[in-house]
Amino acid sequence: MWSGRFRQPLDPSFERWQRSFPFDRRLLPHELDASRAHARALANAGTLSGEELGSMLLALDEIGRRASASPQYLEDGEAEDVHHFVEKELAALIGDLGYKLHSGRSRNEQIATDLRLYVRAAIDHLQEALPDLMEVLLAQAEAAGQAAMPAYTHLRRAEPVLIAHWLLAYVEMLARDIERLTDCRKRVNLCPLGSGAVAGTTIALDRAAIARELGFAGPTANSVDATGDRDFVLEFSTATCLLALHLSRWAEEMILFSTQEFGFLDLPEAYSTGSSAMPQKTNPDLLELVRGKAGRLVGNATALMGSMKALPLAYNKDLQETQQPLFEATDTMSALLPLVTACMRAVRFDYGRMQSAAASGFMNAWAAATYLVRQGVPFRRAHEQIGNAVAYCLQRDCQLADLSLDQLRQFNSCFEQDFYSCLTLESVLGIHDVPGGTAPGQVQVALASAKRRLASMRGLAHAHA
């Protein structure tokens, strides 16, 4: 590709070591699409005749055919990268005409374009898969009906919430993950072709036409930036990373809640494994791997930032290092998502046990203090008085509802009979009656709204597909 200037051969081990073909070969379909678009632009600019264009397009198709027919075809010990591979194969198929394709273009714009096409496809794939998981969470939320569970802060029982409310929290996280990807896609979806090596191509190519042909919203605005930045790779990877962090929290909760200690749910055997030593065990391996792989995705995003930091403009070979973390993040996430969805679909909650956990443990204490606030007691005083009542109950191993009015009046004289109805689970849930709160009516509204948003997200995914 560039031997003219050189008088000495490369050290063979260096030559092998710097190649990216072993991993960038997966970009071949994008490289071929981009090459077709460039070839057409060359023909429109008069650099290729109509006949030459025809042979070139046939040869590019043939390369694609051979690659899908046999993985062996890509076992090329000489290609430096996917761009070099296509050029070599073109020359093998159509002789010197093959070398004309590189007129007016640089590998710097090619790799930037291939990566944008790759990231765009990866986003579209996740946008298809994520709504399936949201749908399963919504179905589980609906199935849970009015059943409640403890909500935790500091991993201590805090207040009761509907199980549906807890599940909808994950739906919100995933909805933001989808939005982040949608937003990232807008910045990805611009076409670097025509940027040349750094200063713009040397042939008057119709960049808008090239962009249109590849389904981009338009050409990138600056050739130095377009060839020299990979922020879109980083943006995609950090969006994927946040998704992985959300899934790791889900996995952690499912692991905890399925322990004998919690007993809130049964994990499906199809997604668990046994112990080779202890016959009684089922281990939550799927969940543990989801939690563990989040660490690797964080590592990939960190590696990308490290490679980008302080790079002078524009293209530097360091940028080749952005490919493997990107590919690994994409592979990891796309393998993991359908498994998470299938596992969540098969989970069975023990509503009875969750509900009884929700009804004990003084989780009505804030509601009890609110009763006093309604009688005009300043909240800080009410907090202290109910705190004293809880301590009193703990000594007697009873609940607030077990105290007589006389006992309660040691803490505040304004307790009346209606206090007891404030302590029931139903009432405690019911007073959180604000949008976004856990009162059953509010959760119903939230569920309906989440379903509508899911439908529009599916519509968006289809529009891109």
Q: What is the DSSP letter of 219?
A: B
Exposure b/e, 229-252, CB count within 10 A at least 16 = b: bbebbbbbbbbbbbbbbbbbebbe
Helix (H) or strand (E) holding 283: strand 282-283
- Tell me the per-residue interface mask from 344 to 383 with ligand ARG, x by CB under 6 A, - otherwise: ----------------------------------------
- Told to check if 55 binds ligand ARG by CB under 6 A, we report no
81 vs 159, beta carbon nearer ligand ARG: 81
118 vs 419, beta carbon nearer ligand ARG: 118
Site for ligand ARG in 94-133 (CB under 6 A): 107-108, 111
Which one of the spans 90-98, 169-177, 312-320, 401-409 is the region binding ligand ARG (CB under 6 A)?
312-320
Q: How many CA atoms lie within 13 A of 167 on its CB side?
A: 28
275 is catalytic: yes
- Told to check if 25 binds ligand ARG by CB under 6 A, we report no
Tell me which amino acid residue 421 is: S
193 vs 287, beta carbon nearer ligand ARG: 193
Among 154, 156, 317, 452, binds ligand ARG (CB under 6 A): 317
Distance (Å, rounded) from C-alpha 173 to C-alpha 353?
Answer: 26
Note whether 286 and 271 are within 8 A (CB).
yes
198 vs 346, beta carbon nearer ligand ARG: 198
84 is catalytic: no
Site for ligand ARG in 393-422 (CB under 6 A): none
Distance (Å, rounded) from C-alpha 300 to C-alpha 326?
Answer: 7
- Told to check if 20 binds ligand ARG by CB under 6 A, we report yes
Note whether 48 and 97 are within 8 A (CB).
no
Tokens coding 259: 């322990």
Q: Got the DSSP string for 354-391?
A: HHHHHTSTTTTHHHHHHHHHHTT--HHHHHHHHHHHHH
Supply the minimum distance, in Å, between the C-beta of residue 106 and ligand ARG. Answer: 7
Among 118, 216, 315, 349, binds ligand ARG (CB under 6 A): 315
β 265-266/273-274 pair status: unpaired
Among 34, 234, 319, 344, binds ligand ARG (CB under 6 A): 319
15 vs 51, beta carbon nearer ligand ARG: 15
- Told to check if 320 binds ligand ARG by CB under 6 A, we report yes
Tokens coding 140: 């589980």
25 vs 246, beta carbon nearer ligand ARG: 25
- Identify the active-site residue in 49, 275, 356, 421: 275
Whether the CA torsion 154, 158, 159, 163 is positive or negative: it is positive
- The SS3 assignment for 40 reads helix
Supply the minimum distance, in Å, between the C-beta of residue 31 and ligand ARG. Answer: 10
Site for ligand ARG in 61-90 (CB under 6 A): 81
Note whether 423 and 364 are within 8 A (CB).
yes
Applying CB under 6 A, the residues found at the interface with ligand ARG are: 20, 24, 81, 107-108, 111, 315, 317, 319-320
**Active-site residue list:** 154, 275
